[in-house]
Amino acid sequence: MSVYQESYHLPEFTYEYEKLKIDKRGPVYVCAFDDAQNLNAMSYKQMAEFNDFLIKVRMDKDCRVIVLTGEGRSFCAGFNLNDLALDPPEDMGRIQRDFYIMQRMCSDQIVNMRRCEQPIIGALKGYAVGGGLSISCACDLRVLGESYKMNAGYLSIGYTGTDMGGAFFLPKIVGYARAAEILMNPARHDAQQLLDWGFANRVVADDDVLETAVAMAEDMCKQTAPFGLRLTKECLQTSLDGTSFENVIKMENRNQVLASNTNDGIMGTLKMNPHNKQDVKDNPDKYAFHNM
């Protein structure tokens, strides 16, 4: 435990899970759904662990960007039907269980992805069905493997096509008409079509998905100040709410003032000053970004 944690009584950021794998690559944390034999379908355990990770990692100053992926040949094949068939607790009816536990646990994943201050880059291949579609939509950037296929699988079992924030994010990503085509029909949509529609930032071979996403994350970390990057995500996410132009400008103004008065902002400005060109060359660590 560091002095930072001891002095401020913060928890030690350990991430030990059964259905989730966390690989720390410096400031980039790779979070992988780890239930490949079930196509990473959302079991209660997997969802609970993912929510736990997202809540904790917000306070982890060492994590600057998250890459989200799935082990095996699927990103996430929707809800785990074995868990869906579980009887409710003895002191809780099915409707109460579905409302207070199942549905809330599902949707909290998206709520916590949005609250998470670090950008989340999806490294996605294989199936993204139902909840897998919604989690894909909640990523800030997406690298798709050639095998990636997503669909609103809920429709196939008599449920609605909108769940876990899909109706919030998808129209903003691909437009209303295309979102309606995806969410009103359980047909599968492949990576190339989704790239053409603006859903993906890249489409690459399946074997290259993870490393492409990690490279994007590492480049993001090298080029940005940690605090400035977090504030950028906050403002972009706020803009999705349909808030007014004036409110977005106010947030941008606030964030620029905050960032410009951090040590990173001050040193970044000095770095750009032509009079400091030789000092920047001689002392690169002096001008490097440091502060979360």
Among 200, 221, 242, the domain boundary falls at 221
> Distance (Å, rounded) from C-alpha 72 to C-alpha 36?
5
Question: Do 151 and 28 belong together in one domain?
Answer: yes
Q: How far apart, in Å, are the Cα atoms of 63 and each of 7, 30, 108, 124?
A: 20, 10, 21, 20
Are 138 and 238 in a shared domain?
no
* Last residue of one domain, picked from the residues 221, 237, 258: 221
Q: What is the pTM of this model?
A: 0.94
The domain in which residue 272 lies consists of: 224-287
39 and 120 part of one domain: yes
Two structure tokens written together for 31: 């979070």
Mean pLDDT of the chain: 94
Q: Do 47 and 106 meet the contact criterion of CB atoms below 8 Å apart?
A: yes
Contacts of 175 (CB under 8 A, 6+ apart): 197, 198
**Count of the separate structural domains present in the chain:** 2
Question: End of a domain among 221, 241, 272?
Answer: 221
* pLDDT tens by residue, 220-250: 999 999 999 999 999 999 999 989 999 999 9
Q: Let me know if residue 292 belongs to a domain.
A: no
Are 30 and 91 members of one domain?
yes
75-128 per-position pLDDT tens digit: 999 999 888 788 888 888 888 888 888 899 999 999 999 999 999 999 999 999
pLDDT of 36: 97
